Amino acid sequence: MKISIIGTGYVGLVTGACMSQMGNTVICVDVDEKKVEGLKQGKIPIYEPGLETMVAENFKLGTLRFTTDIKEALDNSDICCIAVGTPMGEDGSADLQYVLQAARDVGRYISHYTIVVDKSTVPVGTADRVRDVIQQELNRRKVNIPFDVVSNPEFLKEGAAIEDFMRPDRVVVGADNPKALEKIKELFAPFTRSHERFISMDIKSAEMTKYAANAMLATKISFMNEIANICERVGADVNKVRVGLGSDSRIGYSFIYPGCGYGGSCFPKDVRALERLALENGYAPRMIRAVQEVNESQKLVLAQKVIKRFGEDLGKYTFAVWGLSFKPETDDTREASSITVIGELSRRGARIKAYDPKAMQIAKNYYLKDYKNVEYTDSKYTALTDADALLLITEWKEFRSPDFDEMTKRLKKKIIFDGRNQYNKEKLSELGFEYYQIGVGN
């Protein structure tokens, strides 16, 4: 099939690469000329395992192209995916300006029947607005070109997006025209050989499904962090509680690991947008509000442990930080716990030596650019040299089994604050480490 994709961000680029991998002809469009030229040269603006190779292979084959010319893209496609950003507005709602601009461009330039697919995460009712905007532009052109709008929310995990797209748990499609639904079903057939993975519904339900899914996962995270905080106060071990909890098949082990709270581009934004959507429709979502409040508090827990141990004045201390991205296998540091923790320590005068396998440049250029006390190191062990303690914030694989003898040589004090509960407390105690975990009394 012939597909155009408006937006070459995380969703657009992954969608374009995976669709072209299955033999479709894909044209990705972006207004950023520099970004488009970079993509043509194989420069991928985000880190996602497997993406760079897949883009390069399909670009070389000619099944994946990049352009700034939206008319060219629409002239050469029958399905147009809108995959632009929906940043959070000042009131917590999703900002739809880029989605609606994409819809205007579609209305201005389509020349034949086109199925317009909303892949951006958008509030319920956005498909209606997209349809109205496209029709308004067609009316201005005084042309009668048929089109359909469908909702196809993405459920991609950063760090595993290629696998999620190629072997999805489910493909959710909301459509009000059987013709459009069948075409989209055909498009996803190579990805959904098991029929129960393709789930069709009305458009508003599809739009709601994305928000509900992210809110549910965020709820599990905040719930487990709430349990961890209670465990710590009553003398229980949340790591053992988690095993007992997850063994219940009705609950499972996914998303019940205690830690420093959730971050990234999806959960914080989507949970807030869902809260705003509820309020706008006359309902006060108390649980969703609580999920956010617990998460914001949880981001402070590791810093509070450091302050309790070293005092409010941290001016004479240096702390090593392992992990800056909000989760492993991505360079995304948006709303990452590391930013909050480093901010809290920095305000008290601490010096920071940070290491992350992928996220240091982005953190340095954007999220931590105002912190002159942060040094970025070339390895996890370099970060430890002359540090008074280690803070483990992101659970990258290379942090799972470190050389504790090497750590002993480099650290001033054998102290670890583990925000992901990665290590064995008894073993570290035998090695003479002070070891602080989330949800475990010390």
Which residues participate in catalysis according to the annotation?
A: 266
Q: Are 262 and 327 in contact (CB under 8 A)?
A: no
